[in-house]
Amino acid sequence: MGRQNWKAAIQWALKAAEADPNEKYWRYLNAADFASRDKDAELAIHYVSLVVDSNISTNAYFGKSFDWLRDDPRWKTLMEKVDQARQRERQQRIQASLPFRSYQKELLAQTDQQLASLTKTTSAPRLYQQLKTTRPKHSYSRTGQYQYAWLRLADSLEFPYLVQLPTHFDATKTYPLVVVLHGAVSRQTALPDVADSTTAFFGRLFMEQAAQSGLIAVFPYSTRQYNWMMPDDGFGIVPELVREVKHLYSIDDRRVYVTGHSNGATGAFSYLVKQPSLFAGFSGLNNRPQVRTGGTFLKNARNRSFYNVATDYDYYFPLEGHRALTKLTKTMGIDWQNQEVVGHRAHGYLIAAKDSTTKQVYYQLFAHMLTKQRNPFQASLYWACDDVKNGRCDWLEINQLDTIHAKSNGQLPINMSVQGWRSVTDPSALSDSTSQAFVFPRQSGAVQGRYAKNQFELTTSQVGSLTIYLSPEMINLGQPLKVIINGKQVYNAPIQYDRAFLVEQYAKEMDHQALWINRLTFRVN
């Protein structure tokens, strides 16, 4: 843009500031940016100083267009003022968060006390029934729809998250839970002290629709090192978050969901095919359906469902790819729904727009979500993994791989070609490239399991050891249980309650539906 045009742009910004006083200082920031691009140091410094002395100073971003001014003493003085203001705000946030920290500890302590009392029941069958029906009661002394909380994964790792309660929260009721995952994980260099910028970061419509749909919604923060996509260092954030929230609030274990946008949608997909046991349903906007840390074992998705929303000008994963995947999943018997939003809609449209189209998208996503209920006792399961950290789905777990032997035909990788890729900078530009949707960097193992009439039949491929978890909802404890692996009977005996195991699992999971009373582990020859 020529010099004359930058001056015209400055005049536009100043007129816009006069027209809308609420946006005045943002328009001054625009004017400063235009003046800097015009190499007018005096004017740029003038408008930056107005911004720095305003109420938007700590949220303003002074980008690359100001680089040539950074050695100017006046610029350094202004940026020092911004840094000081941001530090004051940070300290204020930390101080304001202290009551929330105490409150969180109080609620967790109440759960621990009631759990200790409940588990004094000596009869394991009676305890099982009590755990199914009794939920810890809390004294919710803090009012308000929003609560700050923190998840500690290690001594030095603390992840802030926001809890959004339903509008008319009733402590005597149980509620469905949705975990909303943010995108742009590679840009998050550090964790905030408090989860206090959620509306802008995650998308207003996720929050609004969760409230209208009557769910408890949680919004965790992550970093580029610890997140739900890659690397695997932070993949435990979401499962541990669900467990903690269940210790804080009365959650309907049958209706726990995970969703998100962009990298958050990829995270939701990753839990579908890597660690689905806690969830009833999965969904995402502008998803790239690919496990980024290992193989994408699409057949695992048969154990749950996915609701996908794709836009036509998305660089992250093309609409043609979503159509191909939808077609493939239907041939595999996977419950996969794909909704398309067309009209030259780019990657960020569904997270930033406020129009009726986007509102309808969120309404339909949540409506579909709430139709899904978890059944952890499905009579038939298939599970594959290339890392035993992700070896479990419901009652079936792969403990050890044995990749020396050949794969069975049922374990052969499933893949597809993806065309229609678009440019990141200009999504209207199509690429002529074709790529495979999934990669398989490691050897894997798989199990097909089913049970009926007190008999489990398991067929394995490249598995060295496995475990089956047992519930009275699955078997008759009054009769012997048979287990057949690869055509060979390996167990034929009654099953007893393991009270210590029942208590241990419940204390960890706070799950009133998937209560496991015992488990059997077998070496596979």
Domain match, 450 and 510 both: yes
Number of domains in the chain: 3
What is d(CA 168, CA 139) in angstroms, rounded to the nearest whole number? 16
Stretch among 97-111, 121-135, 148-162 having the lowest mean pLDDT: 148-162
Reported as a single tens digit per residue, the pLDDT across 481-502 is 999 999 999 999 999 999 999 9
Has residue 412 been placed in a domain?
no
> Which of 87, 122, 156 is the endpoint of a domain?
87
Reported as a single tens digit per residue, the pLDDT across 193-214 is 888 766 667 788 999 999 999 9
What is d(CA 262, CA 159) in angstroms, rounded to the nearest whole number? 20
Residue 472 and residue 328 in contact, taking contact as beta carbons nearer than 8 Å: no
Q: What pLDDT is recorded for position 3?
A: 57
> Which of 326, 358, 374 is the endpoint of a domain?
374
Has residue 423 been placed in a domain?
no
Tell me what the mean pLDDT of segment 253-281 comes to: 98
Strands 481-485 and 455-461: parallel
Domain match, 292 and 365 both: yes
Residue type at position 481: L
Q: What is the CATH number of the domain that holds 193?
A: 3.40.50.1820
Has residue 154 been placed in a domain?
yes
What is d(CA 501, CA 496) in angstroms, rounded to the nearest whole number? 11
What is d(CA 404, CA 203) in angstroms, rounded to the nearest whole number? 47
Question: What is the span of the domain harbouring residue 300?
Answer: 136-374
Q: 302 pLDDT exceeds 90? A: yes
Stretch among 189-198, 292-301, 332-341 having the lowest mean pLDDT: 189-198
Domain match, 76 and 142 both: no
Reported as a single tens digit per residue, the pLDDT across 214-257 is 999 999 999 999 999 999 999 999 999 999 999 999 999 999 99
Q: What pLDDT is recorded for position 373?
A: 99
Domain match, 159 and 56 both: no
Q: H-helix or E-strand containing 451? A: strand 445-452
What is d(CA 217, CA 211) in angstroms, rounded to the nearest whole number? 8
Domain match, 281 and 213 both: yes
Has residue 391 been placed in a domain?
yes
Reported as a single tens digit per residue, the pLDDT across 46-83 is 999 999 999 999 989 999 999 999 999 999 999 999 99
> Which of 354, 374, 394 is the endpoint of a domain?
374
Domain match, 332 and 458 both: no
Domain match, 498 and 516 both: yes
Residue found by looking up tokens 């603390």 in the block:
158
Q: H-helix or E-strand containing 417? A: strand 417-418
Q: Any long-range contacts for 167-173 (C-beta under 8 Å, 24+ apart)?
A: 167/211, 169/140, 169/145, 171/137, 171/138, 171/140, 171/250, 173/250
Has residue 487 been placed in a domain?
yes
Domain match, 337 and 391 both: no
Has residue 428 been placed in a domain?
no
How confident is residue 411, by pLDDT bands cut at 50, 70 and 90?
A: confident
Domain match, 177 and 311 both: yes
Q: What pLDDT is recorded for position 203?
A: 82
Mean pLDDT of the chain: 95
What is d(CA 227, CA 220) in angstroms, rounded to the nearest whole number? 10
How confident is residue 191, by pLDDT bands cut at 50, 70 and 90?
A: confident
Residue found by looking up tokens 């699409």 in the block:
298
What is d(CA 522, CA 274) in angstroms, rounded to the nearest whole number? 22
Structure tokens at 119: 């588990």
Q: Centre a 10 Å sphere on the Cβ of residue 115 and count the other Cβ atoms it contains.
A: 17
Domain match, 21 and 147 both: no
Domain match, 154 and 198 both: yes
Q: Could you tell me if residue 487 is left (phi over 0), alpha (psi between -120 and 50 degrees) or otherwise beta?
A: left
Reported as a single tens digit per residue, the pLDDT across 353-409 is 989 999 999 999 999 999 999 999 999 999 999 999 999 999 999 999 998 888 887
Reported as a single tens digit per residue, the pLDDT across 309-331 is 999 999 999 999 999 999 999 99
Residue type at position 269: F
Structure tokens at 116: 């200790």
Has residue 101 been placed in a domain?
no
Domain match, 195 and 70 both: no
Q: Find the DSSP H helices in 21-160.
A: 24-37, 41-52, 73-118, 124-133
Has residue 304 been placed in a domain?
yes
